[in-house]
Copies of this chain bind each other. A is one copy, B any other.
Amino acid sequence: MRLTHGLRLALGALLALLCAGQLAAQPVEDGYDLWLRYRPLASAVQTRLLPRATELVVAGDSPTMRIAAAELERGFSNMLGHPLPRATAIGRDGAILLGTPAGSPEIARLGLPLARLGPEGFLIRSMPVNGRTTTVIAANSDVGLLYGAFRLLREVETGAPTERLDIAEAPKVKLRLLNHWDNLDRTVERGYAGFSLWDWHKLPDYLDPRYTDYARANASIGINGTVLTNVNANADILTPAYLEKVKALAAVFRPYGIRVYLTARFSAPLEIGGLKTADPLDPAVRAWWKAKADEIYRVVPDFGGFLVKANSEGQPGPQDYKRSHADGANMLADAVKPHGGIVMWRAFVYAAENVEDRAKQAYSEFKPLDGTFRDNVVVQVKNGAIDFQPREPFHPLFGAMPKTPLMMEFQITKEYLGFATHLAYLGSAWEEVLKADTYAKGKGSTVAKVIDGRLHGYRMTGMAGVANIGTDRNWSGSHFDQANWYAFGRLAWDPELSSRTIAEEWARMTFSTDPKFVRPAVGMMMASHQAVVDYMTPLGLHHLMATGHHYGPGPWVGDLERPDWNPTYYHRADANGIGFDRTKTGSDAVAQYAPEVARSFADPNRIPEKDLLWFHHLPWDTKMASGRPLWDELVLRYGRGVGTVGEMRATWDGLRPYVDARRFDDVASFLAIQHKEAAWWRDASVAYFQSVSGRPLPEGAPPPPHDLEWYKALQFKYAPGHH
């Protein structure tokens, strides 16, 4: 037996080696496989791991368990170059045993400490079972087993040892959701990776296999819900023909632990209901939504609920009828409540007629409503008070609504961060927000603790990410943008994870476990967000992009209909200085933060330089930490960003030996584009701000190669994602 086994191993290794060669080339690495590539491990690693993966015992049966088992088989057989045979009972050392106590007496007998792991957690433990060394994956639910299977595979794929595993994990956030800003015509608002995955025209009859691969990828990082439609909503998604299509998608996603949600257009009762009003206090309107919810749940019994953007950027809402956001949210909440549904109500509101500092409006609107929402309403708050700028201070609502569950909304798609071609790892940006201290209950009241519910004891916790996923072969438009999808899922699972750790995991799985690759690649990733901030909006500047499509610089724009759409509204640069005074001499937005935070933000000597011009209007010759005047510092920061991109290119060039040709070339091309566009941002911005400040460039700063008019004349009518 042992000899045969050894022989099989040897032959397997030989074949894997041969097959990897000329005759049966590995599939081209085009990015489709994401971080789930399962390529053959180094033979020494295979040899070490094989004795821990001799057979797979699945104790029970369900669609989800079948998926988990198939994933383990696929992963282990590809990575180890050796099949992982199924067995009905543990028959040898090295088995992998998968099951729940409820579904398997064998698992129940092990007496594992699963109680604290809740409905989605799992436990992976190396332990003897029936006298055989075994790797046990146990959970309270089938989806927990699926998460555990992916976790074990991640250990293997990242090259971790598997001899003495003892992992117990449960997600710290309940709702871990993607928000797709996908339209019914398959265009994607702010999407840079092709069309929407949802092929509505062919649904429900054709189920693109990609729907399954999408669910699999999300399950592998713990995402458990997806809002299929754009927040700039279309009522047609709620009509019977479309609900049949939604049902078909829900059926694909269900065994992966993923629920579907839809955006609810507040005026749907008028548009598809034949009513004369959408007033949330009108009985007919309430009855219509109730009937609509009943209809939806008949079609999709585990429908998650609604996401709503109301009274913001032209979307209809309760204020059209002089009702409050709470009135609107609660009406919808009442409709879905009998079915266990929820309503996610967005706090991203600012009104055309409101002259208050846009950064203050969400707080002003929602803070007074704290405690007035139904218990199945969550208020979804963007990370910052403006709109996913390259960098924003944390949103003042975090910590300010103890009686209302707030969920985080991050933007995975890079609307303001260079679209698909710029390498900007957002894990570090999100970590910065999550680690920010609100001081809501004294020091240590981080945003992460607001989001995971510990700070205020929220009934419901959640994190949403605006998806960067489309029909592009590599899903996200670029290989490195996959890292943002990955990082979002990991941070939604545990908001206190280190973004560097996440980047390392991702790089190991997506490219190579070779430290000579991992260290420089992760270095690039960790430097990338600051680079983008530097070459677009350094020192707390924000909202300086071109109009509409948001591609490229437009700091000179000051003629748009609404003041708060204009870059000049935000930077307020003139001959004397630059920045938005949000202290009490200005809009006093600082007062929306806890006193400790407000004091720090209000003091130009205490505030971190990264947020300086967000809160302060300062003279050009203000002395900075570097000893340089603000003007010089600003110009040099722009240059520093471009310089970092240059260094990223050099780093990547050195990584050629570790990366397949296709992906290497793709990334190299994109970095070249980023380098060119970073310089464009710098040059256009410096040309403009110099036209305002009238100051000479500091030593070492290259003068813009064109005059300001040249930059202002550039047009990009067909920039993607602008629908």
The answer to whether B27 and A669 touch across the interface, beta carbons within 8 angstroms, is no
The answer to whether A19 and B23 touch across the interface, beta carbons within 8 angstroms, is yes
CB closest residue in chain B, given A186 = B720
- Give A26 Cβ to nearest chain B Cβ, in Å: 8
Number of identical protomers: 2
Other-chain residue from B18, B236, B718 in contact with A15 (beta carbon distance below 8 A): B18
Residues in B with CB closer than 8 Å to A12 are 23
| Interface status of A16 (Cβ within 8 A of chain B) | yes
**Given the complex of chains A and B, what is the CA–CA distance between A720 and B720 in angstroms?**
18
The answer to whether A209 and B662 touch across the interface, beta carbons within 8 angstroms, is yes
| Interface status of A167 (Cβ within 8 A of chain B) | no
Given A201-B720, A718-B201: A206 touches B24 (CB 8 Å cut-off): no
Interface-facing stretch out of A366-374, A443-451, A578-586, A670-678? A670-678
**Given the complex of chains A and B, what is the CA–CA distance between A83 and B672 in angstroms?**
37
The answer to whether B720 and A471 touch across the interface, beta carbons within 8 angstroms, is no
| Interface status of A184 (Cβ within 8 A of chain B) | yes
| Interface status of A719 (Cβ within 8 A of chain B) | yes
**Given the complex of chains A and B, what is the CA–CA distance between A81 and B18 in angstroms?**
13
Residues in B with CB closer than 8 Å to A164 are none
| Interface status of A320 (Cβ within 8 A of chain B) | no
Residues in B with CB closer than 8 Å to A26 are 24
What per-residue 1/0 map shows which CB atoms of A699-723 lie under 8 Å from chain B? 0000000000000000001111000
**Given the complex of chains A and B, what is the CA–CA distance between A680 and B472 in angstroms?**
33
What per-residue 1/0 map shows which CB atoms of A660-674 lie under 8 Å from chain B? 001000100110110
| Interface status of A211 (Cβ within 8 A of chain B) | no
**Given the complex of chains A and B, what is the CA–CA distance between A77 and B21 in angstroms?**
13
Which residues of A1-29 are within 8 A (CB) of B?
Answer: 12, 15-16, 18-20, 22-24, 26-27
- Give A529 Cβ to nearest chain B Cβ, in Å: 22
Other-chain residue from B19, B27, B83, B719 in contact with A19 (beta carbon distance below 8 A): B19
Given A195-B195, A717-B236: A206 touches B670 (CB 8 Å cut-off): yes
| Interface status of A185 (Cβ within 8 A of chain B) | yes
Residues in B with CB closer than 8 Å to A666 are 206
Residues in B with CB closer than 8 Å to A670 are 206
The answer to whether B15 and A206 touch across the interface, beta carbons within 8 angstroms, is no
Residues in B with CB closer than 8 Å to A195 are 194-195, 471
The answer to whether B673 and A206 touch across the interface, beta carbons within 8 angstroms, is yes
- Give A83 Cβ to nearest chain B Cβ, in Å: 6
Given A421-B206, A673-B206: A200 touches B20 (CB 8 Å cut-off): no
Residues in B with CB closer than 8 Å to A109 are none
Residues in B with CB closer than 8 Å to A473 are 473
- Give A549 Cβ to nearest chain B Cβ, in Å: 10
- Give A182 Cβ to nearest chain B Cβ, in Å: 11
The answer to whether B27 and A16 touch across the interface, beta carbons within 8 angstroms, is no
Residues in B with CB closer than 8 Å to A77 are 22-23
| Interface status of A207 (Cβ within 8 A of chain B) | yes
CB closest residue in chain B, given A18 = B15
- By CB atoms of chain B within 10 A, which of A23, A205, A673 has the most? A23
| Interface status of A202 (Cβ within 8 A of chain B) | yes
Residues in B with CB closer than 8 Å to A83 are 22
Residues in B with CB closer than 8 Å to A472 are 471
- Give A372 Cβ to nearest chain B Cβ, in Å: 37
Given A421-B206, A670-B206, A676-B205: A194 touches B471 (CB 8 Å cut-off): yes
The answer to whether A23 and B718 touch across the interface, beta carbons within 8 angstroms, is no
Given A195-B195, A195-B471, A718-B185: A23 touches B81 (CB 8 Å cut-off): yes
What per-residue 1/0 map shows which CB atoms of A395-420 lie under 8 Å from chain B? 00000000000000000000000011
Residues in B with CB closer than 8 Å to A662 are 209
Residues in B with CB closer than 8 Å to A720 are 185-186, 201
- Give A294 Cβ to nearest chain B Cβ, in Å: 23
Residues in B with CB closer than 8 Å to A201 are 419, 718-720
CB closest residue in chain B, given A669 = B206
CB closest residue in chain B, given A714 = B241
**Given the complex of chains A and B, what is the CA–CA distance between A662 and B676 in angstroms?**
42
Residues in B with CB closer than 8 Å to A194 are 194-195, 471
CB closest residue in chain B, given A717 = B236
CB closest residue in chain B, given A677 = B205
Which residues of A208-232 are within 8 A (CB) of B?
Answer: 209
Residues in B with CB closer than 8 Å to A673 are 202, 205-206
Residues in B with CB closer than 8 Å to A200 are 718
Q: A194-B471, A205-B676, A207-B669 are in contact. List 18 more A-B contacts (CB 8 A).
A: A15-B18, A15-B23, A16-B23, A18-B19, A19-B19, A19-B23, A27-B27, A184-B718, A185-B720, A194-B194, A195-B195, A201-B719, A202-B420, A205-B669, A205-B672, A236-B717, A236-B718, A473-B473
28 contacting pairs across A/B (C-beta < 8 A): A15-B18, A15-B19, A15-B23, A15-B24, A16-B23, A19-B19, A19-B23, A20-B24, A22-B77, A22-B83, A23-B77, A23-B81, A185-B720, A186-B718, A194-B195, A194-B471, A195-B195, A195-B471, A201-B419, A201-B720, A202-B421, A202-B673, A205-B669, A205-B676, A206-B421, A206-B670, A207-B669, A471-B472
In order of increasing CB-CB distance, the 3 nearest A-B pairs are: A19-B24, A19-B19, A184-B718
